[in-house]
Structure 1
Amino acid sequence: MEHISKYLTKDIKLSSYEDKLFKSDLMFDDHMLVWFISGETKIIQAESTFSFKTGDIFLIPRNELATIINYPKNGLPHKTVVMHLSTERLKKFYEKTEPKKKTPPLQKIYRFSNHPLLESCLASLIPYFDVKSEFPESLANLKIEEAINILRLIEPSVDSVLANFDVPGKIDLIDFMQRNFMFNMSLEKLGYLTGRSLSTFNRDFKKLFHTTPQKWLTDKRLELAYYHLVEKKKKPTEIYLEVGFEDLSHFSFIFKKKYGVSPNQLLIKSY
C-alpha cells in the first residue's frame, strides 16, 4: 500500500492512499476536520456508521473511538485534506472568543456535505502543497482560525465540543467495554478513556469480567462475527475488519478454533 502525506505544517496535511483499502482503529488526540477530494471512507463507531465520498466534509471530535476504512474509488486514490484543531490552538482561540452556547459537549461526528464556505477554505490550501518554500506558521494560524470561525457560523453547537478541554472522567467500565469492544485500541488508551490508569483498568476489568481484557475482547469480537455470519448472511471478507480483526487468515483461524468450523463453512451452513 502506498500512503503519501504532504504537510504544510504538523496540523495541515494532504493525505493519499493508492491501494485498495486502508483500515485503522483510531482515537484522535485532536479534533479532525477532513475534506474529501476523491475516494470513500466508512467510519464505524459504537452506535453509528457513516459513509463519506468526494466533496464531503466532516469533523470528528478528539477522544472518539472509531474504525476508519478508506477506499480508492473510480480509479482515483483516497485523497483528503486534513486539518488538526489542536487543544493548544483552540485554547488560544477561546481566550479571546466567548463560546456561543454553554451546553454539555455533544460528542458526535459533524457532517458538512459540500458546504461552500468550508470547501472554499480547505480548497484554498491545495496550491500551497506544491510550493517548495516553507509554509509560514502565521498563515497556518490564519487558515485554521478561518476554519474554526466557519464551523461556528454554520453549526453554533460545535462550541460545546471545541471549547471543551476536560479530560475523560471515570466512567462505567462494563457499559464502555460492551459498546466499544470492536475497536483495536491499546489498553492504555482504553484506560484513559474510562478515566483510569493502566493498572487500575486491568484491576477493575478482572474484578468485573473475571478474565483478562485480551481474552474477553477476542471472545466478544468472535461472537459479533458469528452473529453477522448467521443472522446477517455477511461474508467473512465483509466483516472481519468491522468486528475488530486486522487479518482475514488470522480471523478465520481463531474463529475455527472457537466454533469448530471456519467462517465460510458457517456461512454456508446458515443458509
Structure 2
Amino acid sequence: MEHISKYLTKDIKLSSYDDKLFKSDLIFDDHMLIWFISGETKIIQADTVFYFKTGDIFLIPRNLLATIINYPKNGMPHKTVVMHLSTERLKKFYEKIEIDKKHTVEQKIYSFNNHPLLESCLASVIPYFDLEGDFPENIASLKITEAISILREIDKNVDNILANFDEPGKVDLISFMERNFMFNMPIEKLGYLTGRSLSTFNRDFKKHFSTTPQKWLTHKRLELAYYQLAEKKKKPIDVYLEVGFEDLSHFSFAFKKQYGVSPTQLL
C-alpha cells in the first residue's frame, strides 16, 4: 500500500492512499476537519455508520472513538485535505470571543457536505502543497482561522464543540465498555476516556467484569462477529475489521478457538 502525506504545517496535510483500503481505530487529540477530493470512507461509531465520498466535508471532534476504513474508488486514490483544529489554536481563537454555551452538544461527526464556503477554503490550500521550502506559519494560521470562522457561520452550535476544552470525566465503566468494545484502542486510551488512570481502570475493570480487559474485549468482539456471520450472513472479510481485529488470520484463529468452528463454516 502506498500512503502519501504532504504537510504544509503539522496542522494541514494532503493525504492519499492508493491501495485497496486502509483501516484504523482512532481517537483524535484534535478536532479534524476533512474534505474529500476522491475515494470513499466508512466511519463506524458505537451505534452509527457514516459513508463519505468525493466532495463531502466533515468534522470529527476530539476524543471521539471511531473505526475508519478508507477506500479508493473508481480508479482514484483515497485523497483528502485534513485540518487539525488543535486545542492550543482554538484557545487563542476564543480568548477574545464571548460565547454562550447553551447546552452540551452530542459527541458525533458533523457533516457539511459540499458547502461552498468551506470547500473554497479547503481547496485554496491545495496549490501550496507544490511549494518548495517551508510554508509560512502565519498564512497557515490564517487558513485555519478562516475555516473556524466559516464553521461558526454555518453552524451556530459549533462553539459548544470547538470551545469545549474539558478533559473526559469519570464515566460508568460497564456502559462505556459495552458500547465501545469494538474499537481497537490501547488500554491507556480507554482508561483516559473513562476518566481513569491506567491502574485505576484495570482495578475497576477487574472489579466489574472479573477478568482482564484483553480477555473480555476478545470475547465480546468474537461474540459480535458470530452474530454478524450467523445472523446477518456477512462474510469474514467484511466483519473482522469492524469488530476490532487487525488481521484476518488472527481473527479466524481466535474465532475457532472460542467457537470450535472457523468463520467460513458459518456461511
- For the aligned pair, the TM-score class normalised by the smaller chain equals over 0.9
TM (normalized to structure 1)? 0.97
Would you say the 8 A contact 1:121–1:147 is kept in 2? yes
Distance 2:97 2:53 in 1: 33
What is the deviation of 1:51? 0.3
The alignment status of 1:85 with 2:81, answered yes or no, reads no
Superposed, 1:1-271 pairs within 5 Å as: 1-267=1-267
Q: Cα distance, 1:134 vs. partner?
A: 1.5
Corresponding letter in the other structure for 1:143: K
Aligned partner letter, 1:12: I
For 1:264 and 1:59, the matched residues in 2 are separated by: 37
Assess if the C-alpha contact under 8 Å between 1:45 and 1:66 holds in 2: yes
Q: Deviations over 1:4-31 (max 9, x none)?
A: 0000000000000011000000000000
Distance 2:133 2:187 in 1: 41
Give the partner amino acid of 1:16.
S
Moved more, 102-111 or 120-129: 102-111
* Aligned residue identity for 1:15: S
Q: Secondary structure at the match of 2:88?
A: helix
The amino acid across from 1:63 in the alignment is N
Residue 100 (structure 1) shift = 5.0
Asked if structure 2 preserves the Cα contact closer than 8 Å seen for 1:252 and 1:263, the reply is yes
Instruction: Tell me by how many angstroms 1:101 deviates.
Output: 4.0
Q: Give the distance between the partners of 1:128 and 1:140, measured in 2 at CA.
A: 10
Distance 2:231 2:266 in 1: 11
Q: TM-score, normalised by structure 2?
A: 0.99
Name the SS of the counterpart of 2:211 in structure 1: coil
1:101 and 1:156 in contact (8 A); partners too: no
d(CA) in 1 for partners of 2:123 and 2:133? Answer: 19
Q: CA deviation at 1:105?
A: 3.1
Separation of aligned partners in 2, 1:121 and 1:19: 28
Amino acid at match of 1:109: I
Contact preservation (8 Å) 1:236, 1:264: yes
Q: Supply the AA of the counterpart residue of 1:62.
A: R
Deviations 1:188-208 (CA, angstroms, capped at 9, x unpaired): 000000000000000000000
**C-alpha offsets along residues 120-162 of structure 1, whole Å, 9 cap, x if unaligned?**
0000000000011321111011100000010011111111010
SS in 2 for 1:157: coil
Q: Which amino acid aligns with 1:204?
A: D
Letter paired with 1:95: E
The percentage of counterpart residues that share the same residue type is: 81
2-structure distance, mates of 1:225, 1:148: 40
Report the secondary structure of 2:147's partner residue.
helix
| Unaligned residue ranges in structure 2 (runs of 5+) | none
Q: Which runs of 4+ in 1 moved over 3 A?
A: none
Contact 1:100 1:156 in 2 (8 A): no
Q: Which amino acid aligns with 1:203?
A: R
CA positional deviation for 1:107: 1.1
8 Å CA contact retained: 1:40, 1:53: yes
Counterparts of 1:100 and 1:22, CA distance in 2: 40
3-state secondary structure, aligned to 1:153: helix
Question: Counterparts of 2:102 and 2:254 in 1: how far apart (Å)?
Answer: 49
1:99 and 1:78 map into 2 onto residues whose CA distance is: 37
Deviations 1:176-234 (A, max 9, x none): 00000000100100000000000000000000000000000000000000000111010
Separation in structure 1 between the aligned mates of residue 13 and residue 266 of structure 2, nearest angstrom: 44
CA distance in 2, matches of 1:154, 1:111: 11
Report the 3-state secondary structure (helix = DSSP H, G, I; strand = E; otherwise coil) of the residue aligned with 2:104: coil
Q: CA deviation at 1:99?
A: 2.4
